[in-house]
Structure 1
Amino acid sequence: MKKSLVALAALAVAGVASAQSSVTLFGVVDATISSFSNKSEGALGRDVTKSQTVLRNSGYNSSRLGFRGTEDLGGGLSAGFWLEGAINNDDGTGAAGGGGLNFQRRSTVSLSGAFGEVRLGRDYTPTYWNDTVFDPFGANGVGTNLIVTANGYNNPGSVISQGGFIQNTTYSRASNSIGYFLPPNLGGFYGQVMYAFNEKTSYDPGALTPPTAAAIVNNPALLNTAGNERAGRYVGGRIGYANGPLDVALAYAQSTIASNYYAGTTNNLDTWNLGASYDFGVVKLFGEYSNAKQKQDTSSGIVAGATNPFGFREPGADGWLIGATVPVGPGVIRVSYSAVEYKNTGTYINQLFGFRPDPKADKFALGYVHNLSKRTALYATVARISNKNGADLTVGGPSFYTTTNALTGTLTPKSSTGYDLGIRHSF
């Protein structure tokens, strides 16, 4: 009798808990056959093409596995968590970097109420949302717009070799972040702000920052890696309005991508973008403009002076996109045209006298998604990039062949073509 009462009590407690909280397992498994062909133009009229065909993942939606849950705390408050990791279903290695599953796509805990939502952990940055929401291809596969490819600065083919761009590790996501989201009952207005800590160690007095000033005097090469105490910080926000067929949003952020205590420099990447979409029913139109500038703040360093003594503008990139989706029966046609132009790349002399025109590239992408059900779809995408003036953007695959030799002469990145043929299943 006592055992029966204990069992009934346990069931009652479990029923209350399940009514107040929920945990969901979710994911996407996306596999695609992808082919790439990247051609370099030779000065002697002999082109060199590097090609590759692979089976990979995430051609339509990013493959992932996640857990999310909420708990009703009463009084209009709720707590939530979200743990989401990338999976490589093409080879079964789990996380994007190989090895076991991690939760680097998103790992957050949050508190929500009438005030909105406060979210802590690793999350998408406000500026990245416009790049993916207002792209018909959603920043996946060979169709991904050039704004995403270029403004990440840490992706293959981002003109890093063309003149001074520094990798931006907080382009799409930022770790160690605090975010705030407006409540959803503001008549269509939405927004978020985010601050991400760099978690670096600071020294007072600053001359004790490793490597020390004395060590740099003995080995000047250490200056280039000394005191990167501000890199990794991110601060940004996004404000938008969505009502009926219209969605428009503006975002701005500053990412600290490098610093050097001894040289007295801090490099920030300032980014702003404006995107919009409008659904006419028979067609949905997309558009976005993006501007990114790498700025360097300079003070009198302990060992070296200013690295930008003449005050020339730092490198940057302007990008734009127009696109559309057209529903056709159980499927949808996707199309986009995007372009990017780099500014102020190369040396001061190039900038001063215009010896080198600005690198630029444009891209056309066309695709079709056939929905077999709400969770399963077949898709096909083809895309082509044309590079000019030294730009080296690709749709994926191997880098351009640029080694100068007697057979080809000087080689310049020219075009990149690719396609995806795949299947996506979500659960």
Structure 2
Amino acid sequence: MKKSLTALAALTVTGLACAQSSVTLFGVIDAGVSYQSATSRNAITGITSKQSQWSLANSGYNSSRIGFRGTEDLGGGLAASFWLEAPITNDDGATGIANFNRRSTVSLSGGFGEVRLGRDYTATFWNDTVFDPFGTNGSGTNVISTVSASTGIGNSNYTRASNMVAYFLPPNLGGFYGQVQYSLNENVRTSATDLTAATSSSAGRYVGGRFGYANGPLDIALAAGQNVAVDTTTLTRKVQTVNLGASYDFGPVKLFGEISNVQNKFDTGLANTHDSYKGYLIGATVPVGPGLIRASYSTVRYNEGAAGIFGEDPRVNKLALGYVHNLSKRTALYATIARVSNRNDAAYTGSLTAASTTGYGTTGVGYTGLPKSSTGYDFGIRHAF
């Protein structure tokens, strides 16, 4: 049996070598102790209520995952490649390689660039994560990202989209880079069912693009995208996102920044209305020996057609601070603390979403009120392979 396995391995290696191919197994295991709390206050009675939770969580620094990727040299400057990546919940082991919904793509690349087919990150998500010192992971994740992906907006294609056809510019353009994407919704179109967004043939479609310039210490990119969301209350609903992000590495400190505008547009057949969510982020990372200090401040202002108290739009602010200590190139310890404050009836609570709905009604003694603040702490370890 041992000899058979050895022979099979040898044949496999020989086959890969002849085809000038490579296949790589890769992954990240990230686990940490997390504490989350949210406080609500009744504006009428002054009574406060609090929710809190201790947990052993995953993906506090990098998203836990396991994947396979490979490339075959086709000659003449052409290459074929694949990428299959699955999420894992290593804190309880409940989620493993059951699907590849983090990424599942096949590509053809050459001097013309790359054509990529399958499920992948959207162009508009890239600016939210690349220009966030916390990389949209853990308690430090910027509120631009979390509000954009919230169930209130219902943007199912915020982070990734399926059935995608994408084109990427070649990497030899003097620092310029870019991509365009079109996600097929794969719905059957008939005149009888195209009456609401829930049955519309356009529901689930994503169109987007991102173009930028990266050279030396500077990286700047503009992205725009539109997703047709499923909604039974309107004829159609489109979530349109435009964001601009940049970073500059001065050496002792690297600065980050982003501005974002999300339009949630409704077409009822009688009138067109929209909600908007405008936000910005500023952040920095500072190398300290083998470690890295991370800090960010992000804010989002809601314009949903109804102002909060004192006639001002709801607003959510978040301040995050963290430290990463690299034990090696693949292993790191990390700690993060983040504080969220809500203004004018904003109801952001981080991971404790139940805190925004707790209570017996909208007024009176039984009403716990909307959340005023929330706090998160992460302490963990990340190992990559």
Shared fold (TM-score, shorter chain, > 0.5): yes
> Are residue 239 (structure 1) and residue 211 (structure 2) matched?
yes
- Residue 418 of structure 1: SS of its match in structure 2? strand
1:333-353: per-residue Cα shift (whole Å, max 9, x none)?
A: 00000000011344xxx79xx
Q: Is the 8 A contact 2:166 2:180 kept in 1?
A: yes
- Structure 1 match to 2:226: 254
1:317-359: per-residue Cα shift (whole Å, max 9, x none)?
A: 001000000000000000000000011344xxx79xx985321
Q: Is the 8 A contact 2:49 2:368 kept in 1?
A: no
The correspondence of residues 306-385 of structure 1 with structure 2, limited to 5 A, is: 306=270, 308=271, 311=272, 313-346=273-306, 356-385=311-340
Task: Tell me the CA shift for residue 45 of structure 1.
Answer: 1.4
| Alignment partners' CA distance in 2, 1:410 and 1:49 | 9
Task: Tell me the CA shift for residue 391 of structure 1.
Answer: 1.3
Q: TM-score, normalised by structure 2?
A: 0.91
Find the partner of 1:179 among 148, 153, 166: 166
Q: Is the 8 A contact 2:349 2:371 kept in 1?
A: no
User: Structure 1 pair 256/370, CA: closer, same or farther in 2 (3 Å)?
Assistant: same
Structure having the higher strand fraction is 2
| Alignment partners' CA distance in 2, 1:264 and 1:421 | 44
| Alignment partners' CA distance in 1, 2:239 and 2:365 | 40
Find the partner of 1:421 among 374, 379, 382: 379
Give the greater-gyration-radius structure (CA): 1
- Residue 129 of structure 2: SS of its match in structure 1? helix
Task: Tell me the CA shift for residue 259 of structure 1.
Answer: 6.0
| Alignment partners' CA distance in 2, 1:15 and 1:314 | 57
Task: Tell me the CA shift for residue 266 of structure 1.
Answer: 1.6
1:231-261: per-residue Cα shift (whole Å, max 9, x none)?
A: 100000000000000000000001101366x
Find the partner of 1:295 among 265, 283, 287: 265
Q: Is the 8 A contact 2:107 2:115 kept in 1?
A: yes
Number of equivalent positions? 373
- Structure 1 match to 2:143: 146
Q: TM-score, normalised by structure 1?
A: 0.82
Structure 2: gaps of 5 or more residues: 1-6
- Residue 144 of structure 2: SS of its match in structure 1? helix
Structure 1: gaps of 5 or more residues: 1-6, 155-159, 211-222, 300-305
> Are residue 267 (structure 1) and residue 237 (structure 2) matched?
yes
Q: Is the 8 A contact 1:40 1:402 kept in 2?
A: no
Task: Tell me the CA shift for residue 133 of structure 1.
Answer: 0.1
Residue type of the alignment partner of 1:273: N
Find the partner of 1:132 among 129, 148, 172: 129
| Alignment partners' CA distance in 2, 1:423 and 1:226 | 42
Q: Is the 8 A contact 1:228 1:259 kept in 2?
A: no
- Residue 146 of structure 2: SS of its match in structure 1? helix
Q: Is the 8 A contact 2:163 2:184 kept in 1?
A: yes
Task: Tell me the CA shift for residue 399 of structure 1.
Answer: 2.4
Q: Is the 8 A contact 1:273 1:288 kept in 2?
A: yes
> Are residue 117 (structure 1) and residue 114 (structure 2) matched?
yes
| Alignment partners' CA distance in 1, 2:55 and 2:13 | 52
Task: Tell me the CA shift for residue 11 of structure 1.
Answer: 5.8
| Alignment partners' CA distance in 2, 1:108 and 1:12 | 23
Task: Tell me the CA shift for residue 19 of structure 1.
Answer: 6.0
User: Structure 1 pair 226/397, CA: closer, same or farther in 2 (3 Å)?
Assistant: closer
- Residue 315 of structure 1: SS of its match in structure 2? strand
Residue type of the alignment partner of 1:241: Y
- Structure 2 match to 1:20: 20
- Structure 1 match to 2:179: 192
1:220-241: per-residue Cα shift (whole Å, max 9, x none)?
A: xxx8786233210000000000
Q: Is the 8 A contact 1:152 1:168 kept in 2?
A: yes
1:354-405: per-residue Cα shift (whole Å, max 9, x none)?
A: 9853211100000000000000000000000001122121232352153146
- Structure 1 match to 2:84: 83
| Alignment partners' CA distance in 1, 2:16 and 2:265 | 55
| Alignment partners' CA distance in 2, 1:424 and 1:73 | 36
Report percent identity of matched pairs.
Answer: 61
- Structure 1 match to 2:3: none
1:100-155: per-residue Cα shift (whole Å, max 9, x none)?
A: 5210000000000000000000000000000000000000000000000111133x
Residue type of the alignment partner of 1:402: T
- Structure 2 match to 1:46: 47
